[in-house]
Structure 1
Amino acid sequence: MNDTLLLLGFATTPLELISFVLALTTVALNIGQNHWAWLFAIISSAAYGWVFFASRLYGDMALQLVFITVSFWGWYQWLHPQQGATVLPVTTLSLRGWLASGAGWLAGFLLIAWLLTSTDTDVPHADGFLTAGSLVGQVLLSRKKLENWIVWIVVDILYVGLYIHKNLMLTAVLYGVFVVMAVIGLLAWKKAAPAAPDAMVLK
């Protein structure tokens, strides 16, 4: 599964290609607020965990394990909304939610980057920053917070550069597509979100 092959001029592996397709399916289902996205997220994260391990992106590898755990939680959240709702609604962050998300991203970055400096990775700070941001985005997605797409736009743009640096060209293309899909998701979810910001924060 790790044998190199050429696809449209890009060097890749069968495992990276499978992960690519699963990840695209996940985001497409997320845009449509389809709960089956979480199943594809779990499988995709497991596959990408192996891809990132082989590329010494240990932060991203560990992130996939966290993604799997959060995906089970997110799947449950989408299927079991509170207050008697039939579906979990799209809501927006309050100021408190923005501050909590920013603080969580910063704290995660400092901790993860520090841990990665003890490994043989050559990009501990970039890996740590994007890993922390991805965790914030995943938690916001799990609660159907509109701002999750803003986080993903920022993170995915930066990931393109990181994956080009690591010669994961197909994955770099994937994250370029993710940027476009995140913009689409932001616009689609914005239509479904209430006009006033949600007062509840990541509950």
Structure 2
Amino acid sequence: MDIASWFDINNTLVNIPIGAGYAMSWIEAVGTLFGLLCIWLASQEKTINYLFGLINVSLFAVIFFQIQLYGLLLLQLFFFCANVYGWYAWTHPTGRQGQPLQVRWLARQKLILTAVAVSIAVAALAVFIDPVFFSLARWSVAGLNLLGLSVSLPELQPDPFPMWDAMVTVLSVVAQVLMTRKYVENWILWVLINMISIGIYAAQGVYAMAIEYTILLFIAANGTREWMATARSNGSVHGFARGTTI
């Protein structure tokens, strides 16, 4: 198997007998494995998770390019940058005393502001999700063509689950940012994201992806439990239990 064929989504590793059958390619299998390892290592507060995350988003960017989901391809660029920043933030001292980041809860004011911002962003994206992602697709195609890849804009279809997809998109961005700063709330958001994703993929008949997100759900739930315990040992409490956190 040459390198080019390994990246081809039509290069099937295994046919999964779920529903009408699901042909999982090598690149999807490896990308999924690195994604699972990334989330598990993050739940253990291991900085190496960001290396696995970078590989995961890079491989999925290749997948989205091939299936012409250019809006999602552009989102992978954000996640790539977030992984780079998270790796830096977790390994470099912060603040005047040069202390490394500690697992902690958001302060009450930050928690309220985040909740308000998320609510507004989800509502706005749910209303404008088609033009937003259509624009992302056009920008991605234009950028790829500038690189000399000669891609064409695919036929764009309306989103069948605008509210749920808006929630997953916005919450994923917020959760990723919160993870880079070691806030416990990131895991609570990932639990919610995975629950929604399971429902979306099951409704679309993509049962292999639903199973994958079920695994991610358990990892996120475990991450929530472990980071809550770590925050407690660090002397940090939930924002609504106290006005400020360490």
Q: TM-score, normalised by structure 1?
A: 0.85
Structure 2 unaligned blocks of 5 or more: 1-7, 138-155
Aligned twin of 1:151: 189
Structure 1 residue 8: deviation in Å?
Answer: 4.2
Amino acid at match of 1:196: V
- Structure 1 residues 37-186: aligned runs within 5 Å: 37-55=49-67, 57-83=69-95, 84=97, 87-109=100-122, 110-111=124-125, 113=129, 114-116=131-133, 120-123=156-159, 125=162, 126-165=164-203, 168-186=206-224
Aligned twin of 1:14: 26
Q: Measure, in 1, the Cα distance between the counterparts of 2:92 and 2:171.
A: 26
Q: Secondary structure at the match of 2:14?
A: strand
Structure 1 residue 95: deviation in Å?
Answer: 2.2
Structure 1 unaligned blocks of 5 or more: none
Number of aligned residue pairs: give it: 201
**4+ long deviations beyond 4 Å:** 53-59, 165-168
Assess, with a 3 A threshold, how the Cα gap between structure 1 residues 53 and 108 changes in structure 2: closer, same or farther. Answer: farther
Structure 1 residue 97: deviation in Å?
Answer: 1.9
Q: Which has the larger radius of gyration?
A: 2
Q: Secondary structure at the match of 2:45?
A: coil
Structure 1 residue 44: deviation in Å?
Answer: 0.3
Q: Measure, in 2, the Cα distance between the counterparts of 1:61 and 1:104.
A: 24
Q: Measure, in 2, the Cα distance between the counterparts of 1:189 and 1:42.
A: 22
1:146-202 deviation per Cα after TM superposition (whole angstroms, max 9, x unaligned): 01011000011111223345554433222111110011001111111034347369x
Structure 1 residue 25: deviation in Å?
Answer: 0.7
Q: Greater shift after overlay, 21-30 or 75-84?
A: 75-84
Structure 1 residue 28: deviation in Å?
Answer: 1.2
Q: Greater shift after overlay, 108-117 or 43-52?
A: 108-117
Amino acid at match of 2:59: A
